[in-house]
Chains A and B, each alone.
Chain A
């Protein structure tokens, strides 16, 4: 009897090992390190109505992506960013934009813990220069969705049946630093010994089931807190992007509501229309002229009313060109005119840029 059980055990083990040996042939994963990055050099020229002009050459962003995968499920991913070439006397920034342990259970469920990205709009999570038009990121993604928006926290993500979702819980915003000119942007704590008393909650759903189309919504809630103020904010936004048969179109609209202070709402939208003329030639390159219209007001509704609701109301049109010799390198040029509602003050803007990703 004893030998019978021992034989059974050995047979079961042999059967398992035989199957495992065969299935191991289909195990393609090996632990590895990944290096990547992106960057962009800009030339910015602006001229106001009164003739004042400014010319700047700026290596705006230099980012190194570093990752390591221990198993198919467990990996680490990070992005370290140097802004404006150096960090000196309050100029330039060195930021850990992403640094998280990633657990990928399956396509429909994964988990991140560390420095994670808020999931909102088209640019915050996909901000490499070849991915967007214009030398600078859209102004909408500066003051309505303050890109790049990152912080210490946790995220759940997944993709199933054409739907892409992400839920984020992370450090909140510092309400003392909200302003009429830049909304919530300066309230980001950027992971620096972040006050974790009032956490930020974020959810996003995108639908990608129709070829070429991405359409989605997100919401962010935070009872923001500073040393001297608290301000409950809610950011609701809608975004859509279409890329098919040479046509490119993008649209984002968002609204931030505040429950205290003079500002009651910030809101704005923009849309892009573009077409790749490179497809008419026997070349790999993309030649994409584009048009953008933007309408932003970081103090769209205020308690004081009157001119305070016009002072930060910008409208801007822009035309430009992206030339991508290969998909990972882009040369950009754009020209636009920005008008502030109060006094109808206009500024001419001209930008040149080169960007890359790998």
Chain B
């Protein structure tokens, strides 16, 4: 009987968790980045933020890239009940698959870090390189994001570089619009 219960539990686990293993990886990786990005112990809260249609349209028009969905995921990172940073988890489409990325901003809207959380394409995986992502640190909504000028490309990853760069710029613009709301 114990064996039967154990087997049943294992079946439940395999059936449901195998379909969600990627989703768990994304959540764990994102939250690990948050905890490792700050020296002191910080608290963070997570919420889904529905994009106001007028703001969404405005940013999409400026950047020339649509948002992946009508909502994105926002982390508020606090120290002693004071917000010190915000994290945005979003996706862009590469050549054919979504690229999941995470942008950490300080309260002034300056990029603390960008990370590729999940890359699903056979080509262009180099956009997940830390030293490529480091070039975004310090940029904000007023910065230039032109590839080849202010943002270096990656040989063999043209489409992914274009998509991710636009995705990051969208986040900096979005923060300026919604910072009082989050």
Where the two chains meet, the residues of A that have a C-beta atom closer than 8 Å to any C-beta of B are 1-2, 5-6, 8-9, 12-13, 16-17, 20, 22-29, 32, 34, 36, 65, 67, 69, 72, 75, 77, 102, 104, 107, 110, 112, 122, 125-126, 128, 130-131, 157-159, 162, 164, 206, 208-214, 241, 243-246, 276, 278-279, 284, 286, 327
Contact = CB atoms under 8 A, between A and B. Distances in A.
Nearest to B22: A72
A20 B18 CA distance: 10
Contacts of A28: 26, 68, 91, 98, 100
B129 to A, nearest CB: 6
Contacts of A2: 1
B9 A27 contact: no
B35 interface: no
B122 interface: yes
B97 interface: yes
Contacts of A286: 148
Contacts of B61: none
A211 to B, nearest CB: 5
Contacts of A65: 95
Task: State the 7 A-B residue pairs at the shortest beta-carbon distance, nearest first.
Answer: A159-B125, A34-B96, A27-B23, A214-B155, A12-B9, A26-B23, A208-B126
B125 A164 contact: yes
Contacts of A211: 129, 131-132, 135, 152
Given A27-B22, A28-B100, A125-B156, A20 B16 contact: yes
Given A16-B13, A122-B155, A327-B158, A34 B95 contact: yes
B17 A16 contact: yes
Contacts of A159: 125-126, 128
B38 interface: no
Contacts of A6: 5
Given A5-B2, A77-B96, A284-B146, A25 B152 contact: no
A34 B95 CA distance: 8
A12 B4 CA distance: 13
Contacts of A77: 96, 122
B155 A208 contact: yes
Given A25-B73, A162-B129, 9 more contacts: A1-B1, A12-B8, A23-B27, A36-B96, A72-B97, A102-B122, A164-B125, A245-B152, A279-B148
Contacts of B8: 9, 12-13
A210 B129 CA distance: 9
A9 B9 contact: yes
B143 interface: no
Which of A104, A125, A213 is the most central at the interface, judged by chain B CB atoms within 10 Å of its CB? A104
Contacts of B26: 26-28
Contacts of B27: 22-23, 25-26
B24 A104 contact: no
Given A131-B158, A164-B125, A9 B5 contact: yes
B129 A16 contact: no
A281 B128 CA distance: 30
B84 to A, nearest CB: 24
A28 B22 CA distance: 9
Contacts of B98: 28-29
B104 to A, nearest CB: 17
Contacts of A210: 131
A25 B149 contact: no
B120 interface: yes
B150 to A, nearest CB: 9
20 contacts: A12-B9, A12-B13, A13-B8, A16-B17, A23-B20, A25-B73, A26-B30, A26-B89, A28-B91, A28-B98, A65-B95, A69-B97, A104-B122, A107-B125, A164-B156, A212-B153, A243-B154, A244-B152, A327-B148, A327-B162
A181 B20 CA distance: 56
A28 B119 CA distance: 12
Contact of A276 (B12, B68, B91, B148): B148
